[in-house]
Amino acid sequence: MSAFSRFTPLVSALPSTVPFVGPEAIERQRNLQVKARIGANENGFGPAPSVLAAMREQAGDIWKYNDPENYALKQALAAHLGTSASNIAIGGGIDELLGQIVRLVIDPGLPVVTSLGGYPTFNFHVAGFGGRLVTVPYRQDREDLGGLLDAVKRENAPLVYFANPDNPMGSWWDADEVVAFAKAIPETTLLVLDEAYSETGPASSLPSIASLIDRPNIIRTRTFSKAYGLAGARVGYAISTPDTATAFDKIRNHFGMNRLATVAALAALEDQAYLNEVVGNIHAARDRIAGIATANGLQPLASATNFVAIDAGRDGIYAKAIVDGLMQHGVFIRMPGVAPLNRCIRVSVGPEADMALFEEALPLVLKSLG
């Protein structure tokens, strides 16, 4: 029988992979139960009660397709952000939007600049459309703005990705430095400014909408997955100029948004009091994680996200042993994927019961490792 492939040469050459191994897969593969789910940067505090009530109230309408123009959500976001609905594109989480952005500008072989060890799902999409990754190492556990800019100019790259605040280290740059970097990017390069953790960082880290809204080569991506507690709903949005935002209509799945997820996002925007409350809980949980790390002789890194990266003091092998050891106690966490970032473990925030399990298990694991 011939070795003929019915797939394109590009797809045939790609591995079948999942950028993140989920806790469900770990439970299946290792026959272990996740008791504290604090590894996927989800918001364990959950969405507002008002959001859940809105979803229950409108669940009977699930037989209807969602509005393919996402009109109501665009209008609500525009009012919330102080911009026009024409500046906004809606997608099934930032991950879907990233795939669409890569598709919009990347042909096979074109260079795409990102940070070495940065968000792997972006890399997954670049590979899927045949782009050539050009990576810039982190500098002092932050994405290197100067290095990213140099790589963009050296490669004449049509696309660059930068997250602020950052995943997986939780680090951040202040708004004036972000704006200066964005404005220094050549007009021929599209900048993805990923602001998934915008609500959990200091106010000084978030550029105003007006500071970048007139630049067609900048797309800011945000989500309801983190601070709003709706990771399973998959609602994200992009902010850019009208012409850039409209480009998504050329390739997106117009009936791809979940109707109840849209209901949830609208209700979440209306309940800013709960958002403020849960952001306070996130900050408190970050302090709690940092305290547990310090008590066990580990070094927590400053974080602007809903997780804390913790320097375990050795190398990636040791950090992975901690991750695996904690899972034996039912505590699911993750770690960065490349050196030197992988000397760290990464612990997401969660309610006190999860924090208590982490606090109990960590010293036992460290003692077993010697």
| pLDDT tens readout for residues 115-163 | 999 999 999 999 999 999 999 999 999 999 999 999 999 999 999 999 9
Query: Options 3.40.1390.20, 3.30.465.10, 3.40.640.10, 3.40.50.970; which CATH number does 49-270 get?
Result: 3.40.640.10
The confidence score (pLDDT) of residue 1 equals: 43
Residues contacting 284, CB < 8 A, separation 6+: none
Give one word for 194, left, alpha or beta, with left for phi > 0 and alpha for psi -120 to 50. beta
CA-based nearest residue to 321, from 313, 42, 21: 313
Name the stretches of the chain with pLDDT < 70. 1-4
From-to residues of CATH 3.90.1150.10 in the chain? 18-46+273-369
The confidence score (pLDDT) of residue 3 equals: 58
How, if at all, do strands 218-223 and 236-239 pair? antiparallel
Architecture per CATH, domain 18-46+273-369, reads as Alpha-Beta Complex (3.90)
Q: Which residues of 257-282 are buried (b: 16+ CB within 10 A; e: fewer)?
A: bbbbbbbbbbbbbebeebbeebbebb
From-to residues of CATH 3.40.640.10 in the chain? 49-270
DSSP state of 40: S
Give one word for 39, left, alpha or beta, with left for phi > 0 and alpha for psi -120 to 50. alpha
Q: Which residues of 84-118 are buried (b: 16+ CB within 10 A; e: fewer)?
A: ebebbbbbbbbbbbbbbbbbbbbeeebbbbbbbbb
